[in-house]
Amino acid sequence: MLKGNLVGLRAIEKTDLTQLLQWRNNPEFRRFFREYRELNSENQLLWFEKYVINDPNTIMFAIVELETEKLIGACGLCYIDWVNRNADFSIYIGKNNLYIDTSFAIEAAQLMENYGFEELNLHRLWAEIYSIDEAKIKFFKELEFTQEGRFKETHWTEGKWVDSVYFGKIR
């Protein structure tokens, strides 16, 4: 387990899937995810088996509160390009519908960033954030990621097109 002061990052277990599914299906969260539909337990299990267990280009973590060891969120490095040493950075806190906060999420992100740069020897981390996701845009700026670009009208949600904002951080 990767440990900070408040949170730890550990491997996702099958027993986490029910809670993760509830968070992924939360309409307030889902509008910021690439999900376009409500997921069922079979979808969640397939995701777990395909990506968490069997995809060498995806490393997902359960975020746990150290004090209680309870699951509070998820994060991961996805679409890892081992040749060019970069990865997509994904994170959210499901506990109490926090989504992105200034303590748990920040510390979990710092742990994952350190893991990506120091343990995996990645050169660049990046994230695609929808322009309606003000909390994550602010979050990545706090993490000192740089806004690298903006693609117009890439995602349909809530009856309108929104832009994709791209952030990156180089080691």
What is the pLDDT, as a whole number, of residue 35?
79
What is the pLDDT, as a whole number, of residue 85?
98
What is the pLDDT, as a whole number, of residue 37?
79
What is the pLDDT, as a whole number, of residue 36?
74
Structure tokens at 67: 């004090």
* Burial class, 32, CB count within 10 angstroms (exposed 0-12 / middle 13-18 / buried 19+): buried
What is the pLDDT, as a whole number, of residue 162?
96
What is the pLDDT, as a whole number, of residue 27?
85
Residues of the chain short of pLDDT 50, as ranges, are none
What is the pLDDT, as a whole number, of residue 68?
94
Task: List, for residues 71-102, the tens digit of each pLDDT value.
Answer: 999 999 999 999 999 999 999 999 999 999 98
The structure's pTM equals: 0.93
